[in-house]
Amino acid sequence: MSWIKQELKRRQELINQALDKFLLPADAYPPLIHQAMRYSVMSGGKRLRPMLAGAAAEAVGGSLDMVLPAAVAIECIHCYSLIHDDLPAMDDDDLRRGQPTCHRVFGEAIAILAGDALLTLAFEFLSRLSEQPEGPPALVVLQVIRELAEAAGTRGMIGGQVLDLEAEQKPVDAAGLEVIHRLKTGALIRAAVRSGAMLAGASPEDLRSLTAYAEELGLAFQITDDILDEIGEEKETGKPVGSDRRHQKATFPALYGIDASLAMARGCVERAVESLRDFGEAGRFLRELAYYVLERRS
């Protein structure tokens, strides 16, 4: 197994353990909502965003442990968005990560509330950052809360989702497509990297470099996601191949074709890695992760 795959597995296990610890147990009152939340969060997932928060902290001399509440919060925000994306009023998906979606198991009302609860819980976790021994200053915690609130809101993920829904009704040009995905997918990836770096005391120069990395990585990730929807295997992606096309989604392959989309993703990764040129060994995981994005199968 390659170094990056070993590291991904190790970090994924650490984050899964933290999620299991931070989330309320499935039998906490009222149990139905906590069962739905745990079902959606603990049913797999790459844990890319919390990994990025930890890796950005490491790049500037910190560690995953010191940003763990933020990493868990970021994954809760991501999982909330997936629950809501799958709803009949949105993408109407029956499968997520190879399993029935939350609303198929618990019903639409509980799925909506589970997403709402995860989003709310994320900010509870963020508020705990200052409670840690030798935790970050309260002002930095407030900056991170603002960072993630903006990334999850109408200037980020929700705004991108709105534009994505509108794009089903009308053609989207290249500039419009990039805006959709920099908001819908890229904003939370950017915020994850920036939050980890800020909590670990990044200098303004380091934060600028890591922000540039995150913006390029987020776009590369979305482009490869679009490509996998076209040419991936259902057993690996966990959803029917071609679902974006059937939903008439605005995607990079639909606009540019597969080959040109791959070339764009490679360009994004090259620029992302170049942004890390001053981080040396501390930036190894971030660099290797960027290259891995091009090779992933799910």
In total, the chain counts a number of residues equal to 298
What residues have CB less than 8 Å from 221, skipping those under 6 apart? 48, 185, 189, 293
The phi, psi pair for 51, rounded to 5°, reads -60, -40
> Average pLDDT of 92-108?
94
Q: Class for domain 3-291, per CATH? A: mainly alpha
The per-residue pLDDT for range 53-99, each reduced to its tens digit, is: 999 999 999 999 999 999 999 999 999 999 999 999 998 999 998 89
Q: Where are the domains of the chain?
A: 3-291
pLDDT for 233: 52
Q: Which residue from 37, 19, 18, 17 is spatially nearest to 27, judged by alpha carbons? A: 37
Are 189 and 211 in contact by the 8 Å Cβ rule? The answer is no
218-222, 243-247, 271-275: the lowest-pLDDT one: 243-247
Q: What is the DSSP string of 51-103?
A: HHHHHHHHHTT--TGGGHHHHHHHHHHHHHHHHHHTSTTTT--SEETTEE-HH
Query: What is the pLDDT, as a whole number, of residue 235?
Result: 38
Distance CA 33, CA 116 (A): 10
Asked whether the beta carbons of 266 and 240 are under 8 A apart, the reply is no
Residue 87 gets the label, from left (phi > 0), alpha (psi -120 to 50) or beta, of beta
Q: How far apart are CA 28 and CA 95, in angstroms?
A: 26
Strongest mean pLDDT among 34-43, 93-102, 170-179: 34-43
Q: Which residues contact 227 (CB under 8 A, 6 or more apart)?
A: 252, 253, 258, 261, 262, 265
Are 233 and 298 contacting, i.e. CB atoms less than 8 angstroms apart? no
Q: What is the mean pLDDT of the chain?
A: 92
**Rounded to an integer, what distance in angstroms lies between the CA atom of residue 16 and that of residue 106?**
22
